[in-house]
A and B are shown apart, each in its own frame.
Chain A
Amino acid sequence: MDAPFLRVAGGVLVLVSISWNRMGPSDFRYRMALVIAAVGILLAIGRDVLSPSDFYGRFYGDDASTDMGVIILHFFTWALLLVIGSMLTIRGSRVYGSISPATLFSGWLLVISSISVAMFFRPGADLLDPMRGVFSIWDALSAAPIILGIISGLIAAVAIVAWSEYSEPPLPPTPGLDDDERLHVRKIVEDHLGGVN
């Protein structure tokens, strides 16, 4: 299989994993989301990671900024650092329980690492020419057409979803819970609240 096919397949699997991750813990697909994400990332960057012999040269070479393999590996590196760092920051904060300074510190360290990789350790960077390869807002603005295309596509997607949902006939009202179901739900809620009345 050639590299573009593997990268596209990897990208599709990463998108599938994001969708599955939003399905909630009661669905089997939610538990498979992480596995699918790992397989997708491996497909997208595996070829470059598993053959690192010339990778260093490619990363610092003159063509690094147009080498899709290098760009994708760089993208996944800072994205993973950001995702793991954000998760640790949220876990370590007061929002989901008692504050944990060690977790919070590790999270912020990863987030700052992510910014450093995304902004400074870019493909084409050169230690002898520090400004070469550093993030440029003007270069980022060259993505304006594709960003506008994505926004337009999202608007179209929302319109498609709204149209298909409004045009479906309404479902009949859900019947109320019977006594057994009511007791079952009550037991689950009480178990999760630690028996607080």
Chain B
Amino acid sequence: MSASYLQEFAVGFTISLVWLTIHVISTYRSGNTPGRLIVVSLTFSAVALYLLTSVPYETVSSSLISLMYFLALTPLAAIPFLLRITASLSNEFDITVFQEADSVSDSE
């Protein structure tokens, strides 16, 4: 396994952990967000970012560029879902659907 492979892997790993930390801190709700989650995610992100400082800037930059290149597949991946939604004939929020669901639950 080459050093470059490991460095690019570390970039991806750090992205996920930093994303988790950003999510946990930005959606903090007093009494709902566990304190341990904040401490652990912050610690892991700090360690990952510290380790990333030893990775050359060019490697980080080329990793991010190849990630964005790969993400260009997203519009193609979204097509089956959008086709299914377009072809769908059911209305999830139709009042009659609520009434039918209500009558079914009543009969049970």
Contact = CB atoms under 8 A, between A and B. Distances in A.
Interface string A147-172: 11111111011001101110110000
Nearest to A164: B37
Contacts of A193: 95, 98
A115 B76 CA distance: 7
B85 A90 contact: yes
A72 interface: yes
B50 interface: no
A69 B26 CA distance: 27
A172 B76 CA distance: 47
B41 A68 contact: no
Given A22-B27, A75-B68, A165 B98 contact: no
Contacts of A119: 72, 75-76
B89 A94 contact: yes
Chain B: interface size category: 35 or more
A113 to B, nearest CB: 9
B104 interface: no
Contacts of B13: 149-150, 152-153, 156
Contacts of A16: 22, 26
B61 A68 contact: yes
Contacts of A118: 72-76
A29 to B, nearest CB: 8
B34 A165 contact: yes
A143 interface: yes
Contacts of B76: 115, 118-119
A153 B14 contact: yes
Given A78-B72, A86-B82, A146 B20 contact: no
Interface of A: 12, 15-16, 19-20, 22-23, 29, 65-66, 68, 71-72, 74-75, 78-79, 82, 86, 89-90, 93-98, 104, 107-108, 111, 114-115, 118-119, 122, 135, 139-140, 142-143, 145-154, 156-157, 160-161, 163-165, 167-168, 193-194, 196
14 contacts: A15-B19, A19-B26, A20-B26, A65-B65, A95-B92, A97-B93, A135-B72, A140-B69, A143-B69, A145-B4, A145-B5, A146-B66, A156-B44, A193-B95
Interface of B: 4-6, 8-17, 19-20, 22-23, 26-27, 34, 36-37, 40-41, 44, 61-76, 78-79, 82, 85-86, 88-93, 95, 98-99
Given A66-B62, A145-B9, A168-B36, 18 more contacts: A15-B19, A15-B23, A16-B22, A19-B26, A95-B90, A97-B93, A111-B75, A111-B78, A122-B72, A135-B69, A140-B69, A143-B63, A143-B69, A146-B9, A146-B67, A152-B9, A157-B19, A165-B34
